Amino acid sequence: MEGGPCLRGFSVSEVVLITGASTGIGKAAALHFHQRGWRVAATMRSPEKCDWAPQDERFLLVPLDVTDTDSIAAGLAQVLERWAEVDVLINNAGYGLVGPFEGTDPEQVRRQFETNVFGLMNVTRALLPHFRQKRRGAILNVSSVGGRVTFPLYSCYHSTKWAVEGFSESLQFELKPFNIKVKLIEPGAIKTEFYDRSQDRVDAPDYQPFYDKTMDRLQKAGHNAPGPELVAQTLWNAATDNSWKLRYPVNSADVLWFRKLAPEGFFRAFIGWYLMRK
Ligand SMILES: NC(=O)c1ccc[n+]([C@@H]2O[C@H](COP(=O)([O-])OP(=O)(O)OC[C@H]3O[C@@H](n4cnc5c(N)ncnc54)[C@H](OP(=O)(O)O)[C@@H]3O)[C@@H](O)[C@H]2O)c1
């Protein structure tokens, strides 16, 4: 089976389980996969608030909080009871703790890691016995361009996404013998709730004068960015392209190329000037 295509031997209607599907990228992915005939387990913390779910037997709303292992087990059990299988896991749930590190408290930082890193690991661990038993599966981890490069005021968020990158790179080696694919989706700025409702913002008056301007530039990048359907299309490609490719940039190829080609000092000086200039 090693090296086999992602979908070889899959049934007509594959099953995708998506975390954090209430809004943004997770919601767009849920609708995208459903429109293409897949069975979709759209997991979210508060499914009772969801008013957009397609009403048919190929769409299942599942309560799941990635920071709660009991909730993960119950959510997965519900999906397996309904469809007996999962083919693709999309680890998407996440948010940004944003602002000067000095202004954060340890509990905020812990919560950031509990969601973006340990939550992703816990959902992955819960699904691995199932994927190994089938000797087939794919894990698509929604990382970020911020898992490869850094910007000011995002130190905690970057730490989590760099952790997701290292975790996924290593995991790809050890799961390949079981024909389980691990892939990284690396969006640049995408217009979602990430820049509004979901953001955990730390204010720090002592970090004037650059704080307001830098934050403003970063927020504008998000508000002027393309919508989450772009990422949904990339997730679809990653799930169905039958490759062992590791990384899928989305709206981030330019900055990643610049990072690769430019000397590190030059790249960082440019980012500093561009985002923190007066
Ligand atoms: N937007 C961007 O520019 C961008 C760029 C790069 C990477 N990303 C990544 O893309 C992913 C999705 O973000 P988004 O842009 O679509 O933002 P979003 O619209 O805010 O969606 C975030 C989702 O994560 C969920 N979530 C948060 N904590 C959770 C938890 N403990 N358990 C389960 N779900 C939880 C939220 O659920 P609730 O509705 O319950 O809060 C929401 O569904 C994140 O991992 C983010 O880091 C985003």
- Residue 248 among the catalytic residues: no
Any idea how long the chain is? 278
Q: Which atom of ligand 1 is nearest to the CA of 189?
A: 3
Determine whether the shortest distance from the Cβ of 44 to ligand 1 is under 6 A: yes
pLDDT in tens, the chain (278 residues): 333 334 444 445 899 999 999 999 999 999 999 999 999 999 999 999 999 999 999 999 999 999 999 999 999 999 999 999 999 999 999 999 999 999 999 999 999 999 999 999 999 999 999 999 999 999 999 999 999 999 999 999 999 999 999 999 999 999 999 999 999 999 999 999 999 999 999 988 899 888 999 999 999 999 999 999 999 999 999 999 999 999 999 999 999 999 999 999 999 999 999 999 98
Mutation to probe ligand 1, out of 193, 247, 248 (largest number of atoms < 8 A from CB): 193
Q: Considering the entire predicted model, what is its pTM?
A: 0.96
Mutation to probe ligand 1, out of 43, 71, 72, 194 (largest number of atoms < 8 A from CB): 194
Q: How high is the pLDDT of residue 4?
A: 35
15-276: CATH, from 3.10.105.10, 3.40.50.720, 3.40.605.10, 3.20.20.70: 3.40.50.720
d(CA 214, CA 55): 43
Cβ pair 185, 238 in contact under 8 A: yes
Residue spans of the domains in the chain: they are: 15-276
Q: Which atom of ligand 1 is nearest to the CA of 49?
A: 39
- Please pick, among 157, 195, 207, 248, the residue that the annotation labels catalytic: 157
